[in-house]
Amino acid sequence: MFRPVTTIATALLLTLSGAPASMATAEPAWQPQEPPLTTPWTDQVGPDNALPEYPRPQLTRERWLNLNGLWDYTGGDNAPEQILVPYPPESALSGVQRHDDRMVYERTFDVPADWSGQRLILHFGAVDQRAEVSVNGRQVAVHEGGYTAFDADITDAVRPGEPQHLTVAVSDGNETAPYPLGKQRNDPGGILYTGASGIWQTVWLEPVDPDHVTGLNITPDLTGFDLTAATSTAGGAQVEVAVRDGDTEVTRTTGPADRPVRVDVPQPHLWTPDDPHLYDLTVRLLGADGAVLDEVGSYTGLRTTGLVNDEQGRPRLALNGKIVFQHGPLDQGFWPDGIYTAPTDEALRFDLDKTKELGFNMVRKHVKVEPARWYYWADRLGLLVWQDMPSLPIDLNIPPEDSPPPSEEMKANYRAEWVDIIDQLRSSPSIVAWVPFNEGWGEFDTAEITDLTRRTDPTRLINPSSGVNCCYSLPDSGAGDIYDDHTYVGPGAPTVTDGRAVVDGEYGGLGLAEEGHLWPGDPSAYEMTDSREQLTRRYGEVSDELARVIEANGLSAAIYTQTTDVENEVNGFLTYDRQVMKPDVASVREHNTAAIEAGS
């Protein structure tokens, strides 16, 4: 949710921060804190290299200014200090390592001289949970929801020839606020983890022509794609789409701006996990005289997702019209040094590389939305993605029958942010399924939310309630394309009863506590093993049973818990610090390949 505003939030800023941090007289030098566990990338992070990569791979421009780095920070009633953006205050990499319900970030920046005459767009990858943004005391944006990108045209707030003062006032109460938050908690433990407040994705600035492309919506199929270029133009402009396969241009198409343009690709090379072929795109916005007003880069992969019946008439998940068993880990996206924010782009890619190495062809992104570069790596490496909606707050200490339903405000926030998430991610070819609810956490109006999801994106499968058989889930609505069973250790053995495919949305959870690689507290898992050899053997036994269920029941997908340990959970393939791969990779890969072959 983004809305530009024109009033100045002076009272709010004074309440939050007193005086600007830049006015402090004895500000200590920034230093990272010591995390309970360090990853291989912890020591690579510093003020001069805080996530320097271009943050939006599917809509690129050559000119931009990264605003990551050291900012002045005032949290709650604490003294002003410095923070390393975009690492959340709770993280060691931020230099703060605590939670504050209310935060004020401040910094100055200079507008490059050669940007004169351009509109200036300020971008935020994500700020959790509510942000008010001001430039030189003029409020330019208010945004609610911790998982979606937002931007603001700050041109009219900029003062020529002097440093610009940027202020971001944030509030984040974790589970005490009425917003989706996934597994973040103020008091973490068990399957709930440390929260990540404030700015946790890249902040950046770019210059654009007054007439420019504001967004791309790319919908692929087996012969090409439809592309809608949203623009700032009043009307009548055209877009030119050039498609390249490597260094060779294969087609060029022109059509109206702000409307779908059909692009047929000759001799189409389809995208699959085994062959994640991507086409590079150049999209130009053309004025009435044919002059180029704006030019952006992008990419796409040609693929479809859907259901087909197998030889026994059972509905199965399909990719490009063919049955493909989808097998992958539950991926939660937490880090011991950065909490919600991977320390580096190499680290962000690392978990996906290991997922491929283990022989999987998919990943379930669990109740979290990642930065755009994570989906870029999934697109490029070749992993199917099931995208969860972050859950609304729920108290897991209350029995399901006593758990109160979400408030109307929570429902409204959920609906708005879910639509924004789908719109933000919809052009990524790796995403093949949307998952609105997990185990009934904050679940409401399931059939209606399924319909909302379908209207927002009619091209992907919908798994309305992962773990509908357990926990806090409402009774099965029968909606969507997938019936999803959670059974630990499992695997579960759901059977086809209607036109939906059946899947094991979670199973496994085999644990091993690796001394020297443990988060403070008692380690836990659904079943503990006492050695890497025993863990490898048990994984093989569970996988053999999975292969039997696939063939007997027509199971379409299985998601193993999980990619890495997360805080006190030790049921990951990797330790939480990413230092140790616990089972034997060759054995796991052999079993995963066998399961995929059994169901494809």
d(CA 426, CA 456): 9
**Spatial strand order in the sheet of 322-323:** 305-309, 315-319, 322-323
Enumerate the β-bridge partners of residue 130: 144, 171
Q: State the SS3 of 333-366.
A: CCECCCECCCCCHHHHHHHHHHHHHCCCCEEEEC
Contact 155, 117 (CB under 8 A): no
Nearest alpha carbon to residue 582 among 518, 488, 486: 518
CATH number for 140:
2.60.120.260
Residue 600 lies in a domain: no
Q: CA–CA separation, 178 vs 138, rounded Å?
A: 27
Is 77 a member of any domain?
A: yes
Q: Are residue 58 and residue 15 in the same domain, yes or no?
A: yes
Q: Looking at residues 388-397, what average pLDDT do you find?
A: 96
Please state which of the ranges 27-31, 112-116, 151-155 shows the lowest mean pLDDT: 27-31
Q: How far is CA 359 from the centre of its chain?
A: 22
65 inside domain? yes
Q: What is the largest CA-CA distance in the chain?
A: 76
CA-based end-to-end distance of the chain: 40
- Domain span at residue 146 reads 2-30+52-85+99-208
| b/e sequence 131-147, b meaning 16+ C-beta within 10 Å | bbbbbbebbbbbbbbbb
Is there a contact between 327 and 360 (Cβ–Cβ < 8 Å)?
Answer: yes
Position 20 scores a pLDDT of 40
pLDDT 10s digits, 214-251: 999 999 999 999 999 999 998 889 999 999 999 999 99
The reply to whether 574 falls in a domain is: no
Same-domain check for residues 137 and 277: no
Give the helix ranges, DSSP H, for 358-407. Answer: 372-381
Average of pLDDT values for 162-170?
97
- Residue 6: pLDDT above 50? no
Lookup: tokens for 390: 């972050």
Instruction: Reply yes or no on whether the pLDDT at 21 is more than 70.
Output: no
Radius of gyration for the alpha carbons in the chain, expressed in angstroms and rounded: 24
E strands in 443-537: 461-462, 465-466, 482-486, 501-508, 510-511, 527-528
- DSSP class of residue 404? P
pLDDT at residue 11, rounded to an integer? 34
How do residues 175-217 score in pLDDT, each as one tens digit? Answer: 999 999 999 999 999 999 999 999 999 999 999 999 999 999 9
pLDDT, tens digit, for every residue of 523-571? Answer: 999 999 999 999 999 999 999 999 999 999 999 999 999 999 999 999 9
pLDDT of residue 99: 97
- The answer to whether 341 touches 523, Cβ cutoff 8 Å, is no
Q: Phi/psi of residue 238, each to 5°?
A: -120, 155
- The H or E element spanning position 122 is strand 119-124
- Give the domain-ending residue among 250, 269, 300: 300
Both 146 and 276 in a single domain? no
| 73-97 mean pLDDT | 97
- Whether 44 has a pLDDT exceeding 90, the answer reads yes
* Residue of 436, 428, 415, 483 lying closest to 459 (CA atoms): 428
Q: Say if residues 89 and 98 touch (Cβ distance below 8 Å).
A: yes
Q: Specify the CATH number for the domain of residue 292.
A: 2.60.40.10
Q: Which residues contact 427 (CB under 8 A, 6 or more apart)?
A: 58, 216, 217, 218, 219, 298, 300
Closest to 334 measured CA to CA, from 82, 70, 90:
90
In this structure, is residue 498 part of a structural domain? no
DSSP assignment of 251-278? EEEEEETTS-EEEE-SS--BB-SSSB--
Residue 183, classified by CB atoms within 10 Å of its CB into exposed (0-12), middle (13-18) or buried (19+), is: buried
Q: Same domain, yes or no, for 147 and 237?
A: no
Q: Which of 160, 177, 208 represents a domain boundary (last residue)?
A: 208
Geometric angle at alpha carbon 207, from 206 and 210, rounded to 5°: 135
Strand partners, 143: 2, 131
Q: Residue 574: is its pLDDT beyond 90?
A: yes
Pairwise CA distance, residues 570 & 190, whole Å: 10
Instruction: Please tell me the chain's helix, strand, coil percentages from 3-state DSSP, rounded to the nearest 5.
Output: 20, 35, 50
Q: What integer pLDDT is reported at residue 50 of this predicted model?
A: 98
Confidence label for 28 from pLDDT (cuts 50, 70 and 90):
low
- Is residue 26 pLDDT above 60, yes or no? no
Specify the pLDDT at position 14.
32
Residues 292 and 144 in one domain: no
The one-letter code for the residue type at 85 is V
Residue 167's closest CA among 145, 141, 129, 205?
Answer: 141
Residue 78 inside a domain? The answer is yes
Using a pLDDT cut of 70, give the percent of the chain over it.
95
Residues 77, 162: one domain? Answer: yes
> Are residues 191 and 250 located together in one domain of the fold?
no
Across residues 150-172, what is the average pLDDT? 97
| Residue 483: partners with Cβ closer than 8 Å, 6 or more residues away | 468, 476, 494, 497, 498, 500, 501, 502, 503
Number of domains in the chain: 2
Average pLDDT value for the chain? 94
Do 121 and 198 lie in one domain? The reply is yes
* Nearest by Cα to 356 from 375, 386, 372, 378: 378
| pLDDT, tens digit (0-9, with 9 covering 90-100), for 98-109 | 999 999 999 999
The pairing of beta strand 315-319 with beta strand 322-323: antiparallel
175/275 same-domain check:
no
Report pLDDT digits (tens) over 370-392: 999 999 999 999 999 999 999 99
Q: What is the mean pLDDT of residues 83-101?
A: 98
Instruction: Please report which confidence band the pLDDT of residue 419 belongs to, taking 50, 70 and 90 as the band edges.
Output: very high
Q: Using 50, 70 and 90 to split pLDDT, how confident is the model at 163?
A: very high
